[in-house]
């Protein structure tokens, strides 16, 4: 069964600095999608970034980028120029190609941004 592991329950970063959140996953599939979602205190889940496994190029969305290492099954999120509004829970998720294409979720990393 596929699993997603986020080994950092909590992290903190200084405003304007860069932080990297880790995510590893386990799968036997070759074609899949990976996502990072953000859940701020409002609890609205927001899609931050997506990565297709067949693409070698790392996805980038403004200040957010990923380091996708398919062989190592690693999918880390880098947040550059951190802002106070980046403070949130961040969840890594794997898209299961079967079973109605469910998302398999990590336990989350709580990110604090210090002014």
Partner 1 sequence: GAVVSQHPSRVICKSGTSVKIECRSLDFQATTMFWYRQFPKQSLMLMATSNEGSKATYEQGVEKDKFLINHASLTLSTLTVTSAHPEDSSFYICSARDPTRSSYEQYFGPGTRLTVT
User: Which spans of this chain sit near partner 1 (rule: CB under 8 A)?
Assistant: 33, 35, 37, 42-47, 50, 52, 91, 95, 100-103, 105-108, 110
Name the minimum Å distance from CB 16 to partner 1: 27
Instruction: Say whether 1 sits in a helix, a strand or coil.
Output: coil
Min CB(31)–partner 1 separation in Å: 11
Q: How far apart are CA 61 and CA 86, in angstroms?
A: 14
- Least distance from C-beta 114 to partner 1, angstroms? 20
**Planar angle of CA 110, 78, 49, nearest 5 degrees:** 85
Q: Which is nearer to partner 1, 26 or 81 (CB)?
A: 26
Task: Look at the block and give the residue holding tokens 């997506």.
Answer: 50
């Amino acid at each position: 069964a596929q699993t997603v592991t986020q080994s950092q329950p909590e992290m903190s970063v200084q405003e304007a600095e860069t932080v990297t959140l880790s995510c590893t996953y386990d799968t036997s599939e070759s074609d899949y999608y990976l996502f990072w979602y953000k859940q701020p205190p409002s609890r609205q889940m927001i899609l931050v970034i997506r990565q297709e496994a067949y693409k070698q190029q790392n996805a980038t969305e403004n200040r957010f980028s990923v380091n996708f290492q398919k062989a190592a099954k690693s999918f880390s999120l880098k947040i550059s120029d951190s802002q106070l509004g980046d403070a949130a829970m961040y969840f890594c998720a794997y898209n299961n190609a079967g079973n109605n294409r469910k998302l398999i979720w990590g336990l989350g990393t709580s990110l604090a941004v210090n002014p």
